[in-house]
Structure 1
Amino acid sequence: MHRLLLPGILALAAPATAQEQPPAPDEPITITITAPRLTRDLQRTPAAVTVVEQQDLRQARQGLGLDTALNRTPGVLFRNRYNFAQNLRLSIRGFGARAPFGIRGVRILIDGFPETLPDGQSQIDSIDLESIDRVELIRGPSSALYGNAAGGVLQIHTADPPATPFAELQARAGSHDFRKLTVRGGGRRAAWGAQVSASRLDYDGYRRQSRTRKDLLNTKLTYDIDALRSIEAVLTALDQPYGEDPGGLTRSEVETDRRQAAPNALALDSGQSVRQRRLGIRYRDRNLGSGEFSARLFHTRRDFEQQLPFPGPSRLQYERDFFGAGLDYTANTRLGKRPLRYTLGLEAARQRDDRQRFEVDNDGRLTGQIQDALETATEAGLYGQADLALSERMDLTLGGRYDRVEFDIDDRLTPDGAASGSRTFDELSFTLGLGYQLQRDHRLYAAAGSAFETPSFTEFSDPTEPGEGFDPDLDPQQALNLELGAKGFIGKDLRYELALFRVETRDEIVQVASEPDRFANAARTRRTGLEATLIHDITDRLRLTSAYTHARYRFRQFVDAAGTDLAGRRLPGLPEQTLFTELAWRDPSGPYVILDGLAVGRVYADNANREPVAGYAVVNLRAGIRGAWQGTELEVFAGLNNLTDRDYFSNVRINAAAGRFFEPAPERNVHAGVRLRY
């Protein structure tokens, strides 16, 4: 285990981070958050919320994944940045770590439109990183208001049309034939506004069978009906004609050649192709009655094909339609003499997957079809939340949500539709928070909340047994979150935030180690931990940012399919300690240098904890210079990833068959770029 502690890190800490200059102690907090359904000051929010602003999201970044900017968030772990067929994985307080691909247990919204499907799965491969203006990430109890997600909420805001028109071109290149070109532009004219971002990524990858090409488009159009009413349309597009999958390696293969692909990955040419389009429309009225009203509609179309890196039932394809609507209303009133702010809302969505799956032999030839089904998931939710000022020092937050989630499979392959079936779940969730202003610059809070997470279609059934349909023994997992926190300032240059959490989960959904395509409900798990953030403006040019997590993720009661009692074992894939530290020097005249490091503790790759995976520490360096001349801005930058040339794994495949747990990360590599803005 690496020594993760830096002097003073444990003394000061935090669950929420906002990357901008802190105000002096006698000034109010001006950072606001919108993710918890009520827009309010970050400092007064009784929850663990991280806010990351544009500068930390973009400055001299390579632009491969969102993880490099969000590693500064305690309690959050990213995996899989370099596998563009399995895509980025995200876990919050241990929720989502079991996902073999994509994201589970976390609710994701982009400009208020959901990226999380009714069955609980999320993908963020369609996010154009250059268009992101701000990210808000909730950890813990506040996620109760967002429905089918036990771990938290990730809300991404793209840039709005600017008052001053601009055009921007950015080109980047680097190791392993990395190339990325981005074009952006936008402006406003009268009541209309537009912001457009388009990019192309070409990357051969560190390992063999790792190439990808990805084209992204993000367009935002706005129209101001008058000073208080507006309409916004967001159109996004993704075209990924190929994203190869090198597969997982065994320990002996890693020792022989870290850069090789799994033999079956080469033989079967494993990978995916994706085409996606999404349209979202929102109407806002900021003066309806005594409050603000919002209505939204969206539709997403996704066409997907994939060859997994093993023979058998490993070729799949689907055509997906995901659509829905939502309404919410927020207003201020009084309860007696005390101010009360509340929000009420409802939302509904449907997912329709026309899904097929095929058997292939060792040479990639089709040998039969094992699935032809229409899978439909429908969710509907009602929610409400209120903030009440109990006194000048104390605030109370109460919230609740009701969800109905229906799953239906229409089997078109087996005789008489033997694998058809349906499941319906009705769930209630709550959140409770209490904030207390201890002193002018220090605030305490306590929070509690419940959350649930349904199985996804993938987890509900094993496609190798087409006659089984839904697994009747697999149910949603239930989580109770408890949290204590503190946040504030010491002097005018140091911001701290601290959270202690405990999460009790019953019916935790886990992979069956002997059959990685199957899932089961573990009896109980427990997550406890400390999350801490420190932001120190050492000078007006030099800033230190640190985020530390110390946690225990344990099975409390769980007997696996082999009859082994796993009580007390660690949940696989989760380190008990992580530390992020960044030292950033930025001169107002243009030059900047940023050094950051991420240390991650040891994990286990399997439920039984027989396969330990060593921890690691990775250091990265970025630098650049900006200048302007006659209205044109020029920036030149470069980055050095894995500065110390450490061997580590970018992903660990949980409970993988045949011991293929490991996906090696690149050794020392570089990138450089230039940005021109007019």
Structure 2
Amino acid sequence: MKSSAPVLSRHLNHLDHPTCIAIGVTLLMASLAQAQTPPEAPEPEGGALAPVVITGSGSADHRWRGSATVDVVDGSELRSGQLQINLSEGLARVPGLVIRNRENYAQDLQVSIRGFGARSTFGVRGVRLFVDGIPASAPDGSGQAANFPLGSADRIEVVRGPFAALYGASSGGAILAYTQDGTRPGELRVGSALGANGLWRLSTQATGQTGTAEAPGWSYTLDVGKFATDGARPQSAADRTSANVKLSRAHDGGRTVILFNQQRSFALDPQGLSRAQFDADETQTAPQPLQYNTRKSVSQAQTGVAWDQSLGNGHKIELMGYAGQRRVIQFQSIPPVPNQVPAGSSGGVIDLDRDYWGFNARWKLQREWQGGRLDVSAGLAGDRQTDTRRGYENFVGTTLGVLGALRRDETNQATTLDPYVQAAWARADWTLEGGLRRARARFDSTDLFLSNGDQSGGTTYEAWLPVVGARWQVSPQVQAFASVGRGLETPTLNEAAYGPGGNSGFNTALNAARSTQAEIGLRGRNDAGLWNATVFDIRTRDEIVSAGTSNGRASFTNGGTTRRQGLELSAEYGLGPVIMTTAYTFLRATYGSGTAAIPASSTMPGLPRHQLFAQLAWAPAATAGIGGVFTLEARHTGKVFVNDTNTDAAAGHTLLAFGARFEQTTGAWTWREFVRIDNLTDKKHVGSVIVNDAFRPFEPGPGRALSAGIELTRRF
């Protein structure tokens, strides 16, 4: 690790004493790990639904051979001792990833990777999401994490760094979920969980395989569930039902996979609090959400089919297609006067109908060449969304929070069509790889509500996205890796809908942000655990930033240049029945040139400079056939600015949690139970912030909360 010591020491100069201790523990674990002998790992698994060929995706051995930065969280880790409701429950151990539960199911989670996506006030932007290869992100870069099927997840991969750009535009990072395949013997799981504030979950998963062991038929996975909560604050109740079906069947030299997903949800929207409101009582809700009964309902259904076939001599083709529909109705708290008086106002109710579809087709070649393995792939990916968007007033007469007169009627379309190619040559001591994607996104808006003038418009964003990387085997236990590449982040259709000041018409002056990022690091593994240390630098021009809100319309502009420099450390080390897991992120994200509204050198909002996760797990020997695991967690989040001008910030905080889970097996039956206490010290804190909200940017985090659950599994 001598080569990275000067860089690490410079970063350590900015850290407080407790954080330095945590990093020291991580590095000590890494040095202990380095003394062990690495185990043999399995060959990487193929997958017809992998969204694009990324060396490093798949099994641990595949990631070990590549230069991409990929963390994998196993499905059992996501579920063990957790409520299995939010993706944020199990991904805190991934460095470089900020994922916060807003405690507001009308706005989804707050997700960013190395700063990409931090500006999002709802949903996910700047980070691509996939479930079994099907995008959970729309072509315009907006996405939702709510439809990740945690109950049947086999694993979740988090891709960071330059290679994430190969997933297309708005891919500052990528989160990929893969569900379980049905196996023999089959398995049936029935689970329930209870939590604070009236929260409950019921779910069922069934996996299996038709036919016989000698002549297997279709493998199947079924996952259905429902959850509801009264909410931590007034006006925050929510419920959600979901169903996921996966069918797969192997054929001679290939595989066919069929997917179906459906989800329905309803959530009241408590919105945020002002500084004065949060300081006075973080459990309250501001008057406006109550007056307007702010709420959101969502229904979505989609299906996908994938097929791959070996052609012999190392050649293979893979085809994937999907289609779906999404419906959203949302009541906002925009006041009638003065915001809905102007002729160009879009009202206070959003009514969105979205039809979407896409495909991915590629050719792959794998063969031995020049003493190593050569992997080459080339393909074409395309996606299209068509949004029928209507806006209505949120009042009738003096009655607020009801559907009023039509104020907006337009059709928005976003279309992408991206060719890509990637090649990697790997042998025991070296890997050289590179990729190139031509990202092209076309946005069009057709105005059908012409009484206030024609607001139609459109624009095209496009760029070449090259990336190269290398891995060097320093020793049997240690590798060095590095990569560099370019990325493109388009605004979403929402962000391009209005010009500065909320002026009518599609904002064709809003440019896509263009970035260049590089990383270099060391990683190691052994019988006892694994570790990673990465330094990265990201430079962006035409960063997309808020231009303010006028008449209820949020508009965006380009905010000059930004620079994000960071350090990621992670380690997992086992010593007998004790396992220590740590993940630390240092991120300095600042504006460079700035604008008239954003001072140069100000910190980008929504991003903590320090983030630390540490977990100590103890698994004593089973007693009377009952096994148990006891965990103690610490999660530290540094100060987070709420706006570009850095006039206010959420204070840093450290939260502690205790968990215990147990397991008993009798014949074909297995019982699992858990109990967990979050925020052990009942610390008052801001869970997340609504970036650049001028009035109520603080979203309170929950106090001390007890949760418990039980699951029954039977093999058949």
Matches within 5 A, 1:390-539: 392-415=428-451, 418-462=454-498, 468-489=504-525, 492-513=527-548, 517-539=554-576
Residue identity matched to 1:37: I
1:606 and 1:110 map into 2 onto residues whose CA distance is: 32
Following TM superposition, by how much is the alpha carbon of 1:4 offset from its aligned partner in structure 2, in angstroms? 4.7
Alignment partner for residue 592 of structure 2, among 542, 545, 556? 556
Matches within 5 A, 1:190-589: 190=211, 191-226=217-252, 228-240=253-265, 242-311=266-335, 312=340, 313-333=347-367, 338-361=372-395, 363-366=400-403, 368-389=405-426, 392-415=428-451, 418-462=454-498, 468-489=504-525, 492-513=527-548, 517-539=554-576, 541-559=577-595, 563-564=596-597, 566-587=599-620, 589=622
1:653 and 1:364 map into 2 onto residues whose CA distance is: 22
2:439 and 2:172 map into 1 onto residues whose CA distance is: 17
Alignment partner for residue 53 of structure 1, among 56, 63, 74? 74
The structure that is strand-richer by fraction is: 1
Contact preservation (8 Å) 2:54, 2:163: no
Following TM superposition, by how much is the alpha carbon of 1:501 offset from its aligned partner in structure 2, in angstroms? 0.1
1:223 and 1:41 map into 2 onto residues whose CA distance is: 24
Following TM superposition, by how much is the alpha carbon of 1:225 offset from its aligned partner in structure 2, in angstroms? 2.9
Following TM superposition, by how much is the alpha carbon of 1:27 offset from its aligned partner in structure 2, in angstroms? 2.6
Q: Which runs of 5 or more structure 1 residues have no equivalent in the other structure? A: none
Deviation readout 1:390-440 (Å, 9 max, x if unpaired): x65222111000122111111100259611111112221011001111111
Following TM superposition, by how much is the alpha carbon of 1:336 offset from its aligned partner in structure 2, in angstroms? 5.2
Per mean C-alpha deviation after superposition, the further-off stretch among 30-39 and 181-190 is 30-39
2:296 and 2:27 map into 1 onto residues whose CA distance is: 41
- Provide the residue aligned with 2:4 in structure 1: none
1:353 and 1:251 map into 2 onto residues whose CA distance is: 36
Deviation readout 1:79-132 (Å, 9 max, x if unpaired): 234110001121000111100100011111110111111101011222222121
2:287 and 2:499 map into 1 onto residues whose CA distance is: 23
Following TM superposition, by how much is the alpha carbon of 1:550 offset from its aligned partner in structure 2, in angstroms? 0.9
2:592 and 2:237 map into 1 onto residues whose CA distance is: 42
Residue identity matched to 2:193: R
- Provide the residue aligned with 1:170 in structure 2: 191
Following TM superposition, by how much is the alpha carbon of 1:564 offset from its aligned partner in structure 2, in angstroms? 4.2
1:261 and 1:233 map into 2 onto residues whose CA distance is: 44
Contact preservation (8 Å) 1:22, 1:492: no
- Provide the residue aligned with 1:612 in structure 2: 649
Alignment partner for residue 101 of structure 1, among 99, 122, 144? 122
- Provide the residue aligned with 2:3 in structure 1: none
Residues 615 and 319 from structure 1, CA distance in 2 versus in 1: closer, same or farther, beyond 3 angstroms? same
- Provide the residue aligned with 1:661 in structure 2: 697
Residue identity matched to 2:619: R
Deviation readout 1:457-500 (Å, 9 max, x if unpaired): 110023998973221220110010110011013x6424210100
Residue identity matched to 2:484: A
3-state SS of paired residue (2:401): coil
Deviation readout 1:238-274 (Å, 9 max, x if unpaired): 011x201101111221233222212110111111001
Residues 464 and 203 from structure 1, CA distance in 2 versus in 1: closer, same or farther, beyond 3 angstroms? farther
Contact preservation (8 Å) 1:410, 1:417: no
Per mean C-alpha deviation after superposition, the further-off stretch among 331-340 and 373-382 is 331-340
1:514 and 1:280 map into 2 onto residues whose CA distance is: 38
TM-score where L is the length of structure 2: 0.89
Contact preservation (8 Å) 1:452, 1:476: yes
Following TM superposition, by how much is the alpha carbon of 1:513 offset from its aligned partner in structure 2, in angstroms? 4.2
Residue identity matched to 1:496: W
Following TM superposition, by how much is the alpha carbon of 1:384 offset from its aligned partner in structure 2, in angstroms? 0.9
1:416 and 1:251 map into 2 onto residues whose CA distance is: 37
Contact preservation (8 Å) 2:499, 2:555: no
1:22 and 1:174 map into 2 onto residues whose CA distance is: 41
Following TM superposition, by how much is the alpha carbon of 1:514 offset from its aligned partner in structure 2, in angstroms? 5.9
Deviation readout 1:279-324 (Å, 9 max, x if unpaired): 0111121445523321111011111100123324321011111101
3-state SS of paired residue (1:404): strand
3-state SS of paired residue (1:484): strand
Matches within 5 A, 1:129-208: 129-190=150-211, 191-208=217-234
2:491 and 2:545 map into 1 onto residues whose CA distance is: 10
Contact preservation (8 Å) 2:331, 2:394: no
3-state SS of paired residue (1:9): helix
- Provide the residue aligned with 1:7 in structure 2: 21
3-state SS of paired residue (2:657): strand
Contact preservation (8 Å) 2:202, 2:227: yes
2:77 and 2:589 map into 1 onto residues whose CA distance is: 30
Residue identity matched to 1:505: T
Residue identity matched to 1:28: E
Query: Number of paired residues?
Result: 664
Q: Percent identity?
A: 28
Residues 663 and 353 from structure 1, CA distance in 2 versus in 1: closer, same or farther, beyond 3 angstroms? same
Given the alignment of the two structures, is residue 73 of structure 1 paired with residue 94 of structure 2, yes or no?
Answer: yes
Contact preservation (8 Å) 1:2, 1:601: no
Residues 564 and 187 from structure 1, CA distance in 2 versus in 1: closer, same or farther, beyond 3 angstroms? closer
Following TM superposition, by how much is the alpha carbon of 1:140 offset from its aligned partner in structure 2, in angstroms? 1.2
Following TM superposition, by how much is the alpha carbon of 1:335 offset from its aligned partner in structure 2, in angstroms? 5.3
Contact preservation (8 Å) 1:551, 1:576: yes
Residues 22 and 368 from structure 1, CA distance in 2 versus in 1: closer, same or farther, beyond 3 angstroms? farther
1:174 and 1:277 map into 2 onto residues whose CA distance is: 28
Q: Which runs of 5 or more structure 2 residues have no equivalent in the other structure? A: 1-14, 212-216, 341-346
Residues 337 and 394 from structure 1, CA distance in 2 versus in 1: closer, same or farther, beyond 3 angstroms? closer
Deviation readout 1:189-231 (Å, 9 max, x if unpaired): 12111110111101111111110110011111112333x2221
2:157 and 2:34 map into 1 onto residues whose CA distance is: 17
Alignment partner for residue 597 of structure 1, among 620, 626, 634? 634
Following TM superposition, by how much is the alpha carbon of 1:330 offset from its aligned partner in structure 2, in angstroms? 1.9
Residues 8 and 604 from structure 1, CA distance in 2 versus in 1: closer, same or farther, beyond 3 angstroms? closer
Per mean C-alpha deviation after superposition, the further-off stretch among 491-500 and 56-65 is 491-500
Residues 111 and 69 from structure 1, CA distance in 2 versus in 1: closer, same or farther, beyond 3 angstroms? same
Residues 670 and 424 from structure 1, CA distance in 2 versus in 1: closer, same or farther, beyond 3 angstroms? same
Alignment partner for residue 665 of structure 2, among 601, 620, 628? 628
Following TM superposition, by how much is the alpha carbon of 1:184 offset from its aligned partner in structure 2, in angstroms? 1.1
- Provide the residue aligned with 2:65 in structure 1: 44
1:221 and 1:581 map into 2 onto residues whose CA distance is: 38
1:211 and 1:645 map into 2 onto residues whose CA distance is: 22
1:622 and 1:571 map into 2 onto residues whose CA distance is: 34
2:386 and 2:598 map into 1 onto residues whose CA distance is: 39
